[in-house]
Amino acid sequence: METTQQTESKIIELKPFTDEMVVNMGPQHPSTHGVLRLELRLDGEVVREAIPHIGYLHRCFEKHSENLSYPQIIPFTDRMDYVAAMNQNWGFCLAVEKLMAADESKDFAIPERAEYLRVLICELNRIASHLLSFGTYGMDIGAFTPFLYAFRDRERLLLLFEKICGARLTYNYIRIGGVSEIIPMEPGSIDEQNYLDEIESFLDYFEPKIDEYNDLLTSNSIFSERTMGVAVMSAEMALSYGATGPNIRGSGVDWDLRRDEPYSIYDRFDFDVPVAKDIPELGAVVGDCWSRYKVRMDEMKESVRIVRQILAEGLPDGPVMADLKAVRPPKGEIYFRSEAPRGELGFYIVSDGTPKPVRLKGRSPCFSALSALQELSRGLMVADIIAIIGSIDIVMGEVDR
């Protein structure tokens, strides 16, 4: 009699909660944006712990790169963040170009025309990436229509990319020292004029659509009830986890590499950096899922502004490739970061003077954002996990590399 009482009291001490239930979410789940497996430890419907298990899409990008020459690595960067492959190409090329510029004996400069084409295409790619993020986020929350609308508009962008580089998803367009000449576009030719006119007509079509999407989803009561005030990431937390891009701007930190550390020709353009604010009449709090989402919607407008400035100026004349005999950077190491649609994309390259890198490390924005998931989701409901994953906008190809 006495022993039973003792054991019972022990059990109560060891397990002060109800039984914990372990649920595996993913890797084959439509709203985990790829192959992400979450190990959910649930107390009823309340998430006590959500542990992300990654590595299902690991392709040894970094190790593989050590056996490839620099131009050969560019197609593999396409496969990192396949939603915004142009920006990934660019990030890598910028890093290699900076490493090569350290060698003063070889003098090379990126042609003006290439710089303009790079900014033009990458900003369009940013719109395409945010469109996909917006569409899938709506679908995760339960609104199917925005997804179809986003893909309808993204299709027009993909046709534009297809015309300039020949591919729809894995572009391999931006090269070390310029851009690809696989489809020649003579300066001042009819082809170029037609292409720019097509971009112009897309922008004219797309700009009112952003307001339409805001009517459709952003202000929708069902959507905002599920996202506003959910999973608030404070500025300190965002900084300590290394969240970047729209995620950190959604937490109220005014930080954009395009403005604060301008690379390429971003200092010539006039654009604003959207930062989330408290909106008491709606119920939005800085750092919640809705703020992160809204920053992306506003960023699309800013990208349209940048592209319009390029179209107004027109593309400069000249070649699109720098005069490079071979890509053989000098001995040394470099870290270069650029602003991809999902945040700060960095490449760390160690070179020993051969055409192949000794070590290559990719700093992926999605990995840092995903690491915050565990702390963000603690104490929330299972349904809120879906809202968090969509709002931090991860692409598993980039998390696992």
Partner 1 sequence: MDKYIRNIYKGVYTVLVGMRVTIRQFFEPNVTHQYPYQHDFEKKQNVREIPKGYRGQLYNRIEDCIGCKKCELICPVDCITITGDKLPKGEQLWDSMNVVHLKDGREVIGIIEGDDKKIMSEDSMTITNITTRLGSQEVIDRLEASGDESRTETFSTEEVSRVVTRNPVVFYLDQFDIDMSLCMYCGLCTEVCPTQCLVMKDSLEGIEYSSFDRTDLIFNFDKQEMYDKDEAENTEAAD
Residues near partner 1 (CB under 8 A): 68, 71-76, 78, 145, 149, 152, 155, 159, 162-163, 166-167, 170, 172, 180-183, 212, 215-217, 219-222, 224
The CA-to-CA distance between both ends of the chain, in Å, stands at 60
Closest approach, Cβ 167 to partner 1, in A, equals 5
For residue 334, report the phi and psi dihedrals to the nearest 5 degrees: -150, 145
CB of 72 to partner 1, least distance (A): 4
Nearer to partner 1, 166 or 379 (CB): 166
The answer to whether 171 and 159 have CB atoms below 8 angstroms apart is: no
The values of phi and psi at residue 40, to 5°, are -100, 125
Token representation of residue 81: 């963040």
Please say which residue, 70 or 255, places its beta carbon nearer to partner 1: 70
Cβ proximity to partner 1: between 125 and 264 the closer is: 125
Q: How far is the CB of 38 from partner 1 (least distance, A)?
A: 30
- Cα 253 from chain centre: 17
Characterise 135 by phi-psi region: left (phi > 0), alpha (psi -120 to 50), beta (else): alpha
Q: Give the whole-angstrom CA distance, residue 89 versus residue 390.
A: 24
For the purposes of burial, counting CB atoms within 10 Å of the CB of 11, is it exposed (0-12), middle (13-18) or buried (19 or more)?
exposed
Nearer to partner 1, 243 or 327 (CB): 327
Q: How far is the CB of 225 from partner 1 (least distance, A)?
A: 8
The distance of closest approach from Cβ of residue 84 to partner 1 in the complex, given in angstroms and rounded to an integer, is: 17
- Minimum CB distance to partner 1, residue 82 (Å): 12
Closest CA to 379 of 57, 27, 115, 42: 42
Rounded Cα gap, residues 275 and 336, in angstroms: 24
What is the helix (H) or strand (E) element at residue 335, kind and residue range?
strand 332-340
d(CA 80, CA 395): 8
CB of 330 closer than 8 Å to CB of 351: yes
**Cβ distance to partner 1 smaller for residue 74 or 253:** 74
Query: Closest approach of Cβ 313 to partner 1, in Å?
Result: 25
Closest CB 165 distance from partner 1, rounded Å = 8
CB-nearer residue toward partner 1: 171 or 269: 171
Q: What is the helix (H) or strand (E) element at residue 122, kind and residue range?
A: helix 112-141
Residue closer to partner 1 (CB basis): 262 or 355: 355
Closest distance between partner 1 and the C-beta of residue 205, in Å? 12
Cβ proximity to partner 1, 16 vs 184, nearer residue: 184
3-state DSSP of 349-394: EEECCCCCCCEEEEECHHHHHHHCHHHHHCCCEHHHHHHHHHHHCC
**Helix, strand or coil for residue 244?**
coil
DSSP 266: G
Comparison of 78 and 398: residue with beta carbon closer to partner 1: 78
